[in-house]
């Protein structure tokens, strides 16, 4: 029996089509991952493609792992060694490592994260203003995603402000080259540029990859589109899977125009539409279709389902933030009691992370287990990354990004100019920044006064390296924190409350290190080597979470599904967001609402407030225009929440608690 026999007709058509470029318009819940994995299995098992000649590219490690696992199950008994299932950034990294010399990089080049990039920009513009740094970093990122060099950015700058950012970009780029480093955007930009300018590289990769599959194609930016073009060449043997109705990342450089561009660049593009939804009831899909019909359409598409009519969509007005949270939790508890569901069947979705706090409190009050998504991981907090940078450098003196972060945090009077000179020395000697500090070349090219704090810092690291290999981990780390004066640094950087919160996080991390050291009988060096793995495991634990209600931003919920969804804060100025409306991005906000609606399988409840706290004020709110756009199959309340609702709500919650035990 054919590997694709189990697919529905459009899915099967998409899996078997090999006559040129293919666009699969996969509506929400229509089985796009199923199509991609079955196509991989079909290419290997029935068409004789070598696994190493196939690349499936997506955006997240989680999606890549899921795709890899499902493809492996479909190809059981077949050797799939060499099959590439990866993210865009990992694919770019693979290419850069293999062809580093073409980018004038050493094979062991460093990859800087967003915090490292912000630190460099901060040094260039001589400011600690986080908003200004964020604006500069964002502008540079957008230029890189558009494949614009610093010179091109300057040449096309529309005003003095843009010209200033272009000059920052130029210095930023020079700094990275001096450090022998790249940032996340470079992992896509540089391979795309190298394939464009080096015929032999282009030929090599096009001969190696015979079919490329791209997931979430609507989220690609210009650089990713060009990379796909160059990888597939004139054969254009690719399958792009996406949904223009779920393009919600325009703010970070994604271009929904890439779908339009496909048709222009590939006149023979074959299009397959997946419109059967396997997730949601008819009513939910009817509302989603009604909503998204208000956006102009590049490709007409209408989702349908045979999962039954389902419950009407509920709209719940509330008085204020706290009343909204209490009402949602009450309704959730009531629904769970009536239907004997599990906590994991429920999700509370919102536009911004700041909305989560009041719902967390309401859930804690009722002892409801919950899981927070779309927020910041503990290991991603800047203060934890600062400390980890020291640990990484103590464990491995060749870790240049860790060196850069540690040597500049706290500040030691070592400026960007000094580090650029050090980077040049390291590049000339083909050594790490750490080793370069002690070289004769550094002594000759960097002034004695500028070099002294670098030598002092490296000697400090060496002393702790010796201790970290033999002394208890917790003791060494606490002495390290005292030695660098990190607590004082935090309180110098932030206001009292923020600094205390960040310092508490550091103390929590230090206590965790001390405990792990004792329990596992490991030194600080040994623990440091496993921190990256622990971070990954933390992510895996989130995916395999026990029975909990999910709290998530709409952006973070994309790709997920839940039996019962509460979409909260559905108000003007929140959803759609005021800034998006002002900037002409209403269509993207509507797509974000659409994503929220289509996360629901069985029931959907929308809530909004009459008044909401903003800073210290209470401001009047209006229900979102999107509620009316959901159509006439939405159940509006008979009357607004009355003055006694809080009391009655509390009584009902108490009764539910008693019933639930």
216 is catalytic: yes
The encoded tokens of residue 71 equal 């493809």
Least confident of 13-22, 114-123, 232-241, 335-344: 114-123
pLDDT in tens, 609-647: 999 988 778 899 999 999 999 998 788 775 444 434 444
The reported pLDDT for the residue numbered 250 is: 73
What percent of the chain is modeled with pLDDT above 90? 53
4 pLDDT tier (thresholds 50, 70, 90): confident
The encoded tokens of residue 61 equal 């490690």
33 is catalytic: yes
**Residue 355 pLDDT greater than 50, yes or no:** yes
Q: What is the 3-state secondary structure (H, E, C) of 98-147?
A: HCHHHHCCCCCCEEECHHHHHHHHHHHHCCCCHHHHHHHHHHHHHHHHCC
Least confident of 191-205, 241-255, 280-294, 357-371: 241-255
> What average pLDDT does the segment 124-148 reach?
91
Q: Phi, psi (5° rounding) for residue 314?
A: -100, 140
The encoded tokens of residue 187 equal 């992992």
Higher pLDDT, 533 or 296: 296
Apex 571 CA angle, 567 and 575, nearest 5: 70
The reported pLDDT for the residue numbered 643 is: 39
pLDDT in tens, 478-520: 999 999 999 999 999 888 988 999 999 999 889 988 988 888 7
- Options 215, 243, 321, 345, the catalytic residue: 215
Write down the residue that tokens 């939804």 correspond to. Answer: 277
Q: Is the dihedral of CA 71, 72, 77, 83 positive or negative?
A: positive
Kindly provide the b/e burial profile for residues 10-25, where b requires at least 16 CB atoms within 10 angstroms of the residue's own CB.
Answer: bbbbbbbeeeebbbbb
The reported pLDDT for the residue numbered 534 is: 47
The reported pLDDT for the residue numbered 377 is: 64
599 is catalytic: yes
Distance CA 328, CA 607 (A): 8
CB 406 within 8 A of CB 458: no
The reported pLDDT for the residue numbered 566 is: 97
76 is catalytic: no
The reported pLDDT for the residue numbered 318 is: 94
- Using alpha carbons, select from 242, 275, 237, 295 the residue that is nearest to residue 55: 237
Write down the residue that tokens 């696992």 correspond to. Answer: 69
Cβ-based neighbour number of residue 558 at 10 Å: 22
| Structure-derived torsion over alpha carbons of residues 585, 589, 594, 600, reported in degrees to the nearest 10 | 160
- Options 599, 601, 602, 612, the catalytic residue: 599
- Using alpha carbons, select from 455, 331, 40 the residue that is nearest to residue 213: 40
The reported pLDDT for the residue numbered 541 is: 38
pLDDT in tens, 40-62: 999 998 898 999 999 999 887 77
Distance CA 588, CA 573 (A): 14
Distance of CA 120 to the CA centre of its chain: 22
Q: Is the dihedral of CA 175, 177, 181, 185 positive or negative?
A: positive
Distance CA 69, CA 543 (A): 14
pLDDT in tens, 76-125: 777 788 899 988 888 998 898 889 889 988 765 767 777 778 888 998 98
Distance CA 32, CA 59 (A): 14
> What average pLDDT does the segment 533-553 reach?
61
> What average pLDDT does the segment 231-244 reach?
90
Distance CA 64, CA 372 (A): 22
- Options 216, 324, 383, 386, the catalytic residue: 216
**Residue 141 pLDDT greater than 70, yes or no:** yes
Beta strands in 226-350 (DSSP E): 238-242, 270-274, 313-318, 346-350
The reported pLDDT for the residue numbered 104 is: 87
The reported pLDDT for the residue numbered 536 is: 36
* Radius of gyration, alpha carbons of the chain: 27
CB 436 within 8 A of CB 407: no
CB 360 within 8 A of CB 551: yes
Angle between helices 321-339 and 645-660 (to 10 degrees): 40
Distance CA 238, CA 231 (A): 9
Q: What is the 3-state secondary structure (H, E, C) of 488-540?
A: HHHHHHCCHHHHHHHHHHHHHHHHHHHHHHHHHCCCHHHHHHHHHHHHHHHHH
DSSP β-ladder status, 611-614 and 617-620:
antiparallel
> What average pLDDT does the segment 167-185 reach?
86
Write down the residue that tokens 């945090």 correspond to. Answer: 409
- Using alpha carbons, select from 200, 216, 208, 178 the residue that is nearest to residue 36: 216
Beta strands in 140-290 (DSSP E): 181-183, 211-214, 238-242, 270-274
The reported pLDDT for the residue numbered 214 is: 93
**Residue 24 pLDDT greater than 60, yes or no:** yes
DSSP β-ladder status, 600-609 and 562-567:
parallel
- Options 80, 232, 246, 281, the catalytic residue: 246
The reported pLDDT for the residue numbered 521 is: 82
Distance of CA 591 to the CA centre of its chain: 18
Burial class (CB in 10 A: 0-12, 13-18, 19+), 185: buried
**Residue 648 pLDDT greater than 60, yes or no:** no
Q: Phi, psi (5° rounding) for residue 22?
A: -130, 130
Q: Phi, psi (5° rounding) for residue 446?
A: -115, 130
- Options 11, 33, 598, 605, the catalytic residue: 33
> What average pLDDT does the segment 518-529 reach?
76
Q: Phi, psi (5° rounding) for residue 358?
A: -70, -30
**Residue 649 pLDDT greater than 60, yes or no:** no
The reported pLDDT for the residue numbered 542 is: 44
Which residues have C-beta within 8 Å of that of residue 162, sequence separation ≥ 6?
A: 139, 153
Distance CA 628, CA 17 (A): 40
Instruction: Please give the helix or strand (H or E) that residue 370 lies within, else none.
Output: strand 370-372
**What pTM was estimated for this model as a whole?**
0.76
- 168: three-class secondary structure by DSSP: helix
- 566: three-class secondary structure by DSSP: strand
- Options 16, 32, 392, 516, the catalytic residue: 32
- 83: three-class secondary structure by DSSP: coil
Q: Where do runs of H (alpha helix) occur along 180-209? A: 186-197, 199-208
Angle between helices 114-125 and 130-145 (to 10 degrees): 110
């Amino acid at each position: 029996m054919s590997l694709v026999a189990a697919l529905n007709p459009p899915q099967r058509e998409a899996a078997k089509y090999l006559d040129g470029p293919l666009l699969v318009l996969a509506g929400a819940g229509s089985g796009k991952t199923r199509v991609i994995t079955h196509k991989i299995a079909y290419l290997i098992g029935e068409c004789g493609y070598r696994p190493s000649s196939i690349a499936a590219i997506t955006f997240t490690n989680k999606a890549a792992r899921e795709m890899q696992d499902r493809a492996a199950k479909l190809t059981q008994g077949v050797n799939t060694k060499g099959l590439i299932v990866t993210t865009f950034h990992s694919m770019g990294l693979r290419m850069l490592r293999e062809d580093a010399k073409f980018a004038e990089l050493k094979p062991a080049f460093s990859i800087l994260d967003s915090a490292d990039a912000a630190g460099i920009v901060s040094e260039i513009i001589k400011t600690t203003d986080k908003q200004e740094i964020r604006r500069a970093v964002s502008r540079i990122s957008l230029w890189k995603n558009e494949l614009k060099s610093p010179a091109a950015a300057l040449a096309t700058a529309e005003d003095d402000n843009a010209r200033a950012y272009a000059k920052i970009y130029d210095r930023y780029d020079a700094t990275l080259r001096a450090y022998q480093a790249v940032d996340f955007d470079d992992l896509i930009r540089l391979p795309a540029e190298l394939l464009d300018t080096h015929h032999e590289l282009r030929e090599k990769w096009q001969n190696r990859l015979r079919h490329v599959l791209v997931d979430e194609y609507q989220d690609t930016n210009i650089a990713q589109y060009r990379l796909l073009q160059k990888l597939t060449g004139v054969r254009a043997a690719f399958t792009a899977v996406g949904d223009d109705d779920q393009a919600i990342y325009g703010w970070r450089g994604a271009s929904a125009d890439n779908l339009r561009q496909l048709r222009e660049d590939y006149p023979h593009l074959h299009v397959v539409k997946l419109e059967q939804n396997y997730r949601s009831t008819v009513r939910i899909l009817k509302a989603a279709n009604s909503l998204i019909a208000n956006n102009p359409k590049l490709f007409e598409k209408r989702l349908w389902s045979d999962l039954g009519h389902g419950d009407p969509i509920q709209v719940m007005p509330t008085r204020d933030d706290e009343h909204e949270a209490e009402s949602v939790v009450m309704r959730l508890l009531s629904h769970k009691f009536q239907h004997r569901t599990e906590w994991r069947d429920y999700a509370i979705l919102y536009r911004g992370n700041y909305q989560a706090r009041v719902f967390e409190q309401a859930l804690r009050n009722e002892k409801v287990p919950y899981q927070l998504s779309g927020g910041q991981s503990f290991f991603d907090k800047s203060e934890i990354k600062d400390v980890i940078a020291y640990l990484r450098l103590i464990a491995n003196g060749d870790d240049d990004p860790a060196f850069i972060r540690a040597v500049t945090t706290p500040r030691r009077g070592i400026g960007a100019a000094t580090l650029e000179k050090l980077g040049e020395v390291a590049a000339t000697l083909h050594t790490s920044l750490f080793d370069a500090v002690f070289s004769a070349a550094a002594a000759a090219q960097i002034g004695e006064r500028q070099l002294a704090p670098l030598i002092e810092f490296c000697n400090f690291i060496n002393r702790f390296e010796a201790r970290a290999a033999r002394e208890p981990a917790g003791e060494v780390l606490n002495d390290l924190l005292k030695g660098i004066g990190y607590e004082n640094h935090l309180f110098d950087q932030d206001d009292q409350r923020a600094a205390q919160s960040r310092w508490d996080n550091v103390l929590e991390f230090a206590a965790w290190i001390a405990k792990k050291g004792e329990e596992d009988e490991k030194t600080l060096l040994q623990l440091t080597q496993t921190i990256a793995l622990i971070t990954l495991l933390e992510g895996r634990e989130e995916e395999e979470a026990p029975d909990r209600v999910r709290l998530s931003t709409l952006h973070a919920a994309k790709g997920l599904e839940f039996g019962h969804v509460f979409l909260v804060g559905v108000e003007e100025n929140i959803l759609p967001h005021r800034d998006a409306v002002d900037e002409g991005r209403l269509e993207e906000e509507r797509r974000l609402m659409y994503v929220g609606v289509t996360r629901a399988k069985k029931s959907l409840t929308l809530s909004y407030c009459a008044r909401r706290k903003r800073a210290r004020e209470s401001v009047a709110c209006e229900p979102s225009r999107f509620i009316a756009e959901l159509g006439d199959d939405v159940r509006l309340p008979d009357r607004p929440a009355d003055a006694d609702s809080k009391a009655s709500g509390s009584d009902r919650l108490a009764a539910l608690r008693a019933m639930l035990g």
